[in-house]
């Protein structure tokens, strides 16, 4: 099963352990986590259920491109990492 991990900046707000979930897409993986940890949803997704602008999701070390549908496929061995993006100068 794919494993979903949330970065330390998010963990400061809502502690969610790394979880193995039954999913075939990024969306399905996140929804599986949000069922048990609904507070994390608001930090990761906006009111249209799209990835928030300041969030990044990596699947096996590669940033996803589909920030609206989150339809990128995942395998049973995928590592999904959700982090806050950094900006500044």
Q: What is the pLDDT of residues 21-44, one digit of tens each?
A: 999 999 999 999 999 999 999 999
Q: Do you know the residue count of the chain?
A: 89
Percent of residues, the chain, with pLDDT higher than 90: 93
Confidence of residue 86 (pLDDT cuts 50, 70, 90): confident
Count of C-beta atoms within a 10 Å radius of residue 4: 27
pTM: 0.94
Confidence of residue 87 (pLDDT cuts 50, 70, 90): low
Question: CB of 42 within 8 A of CB of 61?
Answer: no
Element (H, E) at 82: strand 79-84
For the record, the structure tokens of 36 come out as 């048990």
Percent of residues, the chain, with pLDDT higher than 70: 97
């Amino acid at each position: 099963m794919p494993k979903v991990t949330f970065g330390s900046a998010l963990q400061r707000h809502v502690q969610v352990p790394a979880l193995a979930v039954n999913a075939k897409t990024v969306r399905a993986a996140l929804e599986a986590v949000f069922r048990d940890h609904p507070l994390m949803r608001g930090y990761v997704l906006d009111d249209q259920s799209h990835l928030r602008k300041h969030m990044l999701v990596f699947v096996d070390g590669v940033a996803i491109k589909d920030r609206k549908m989150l339809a990128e496929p995942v395998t049973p061995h995928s590592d999904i990492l959700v982090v806050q993006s950094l900006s500044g100068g």
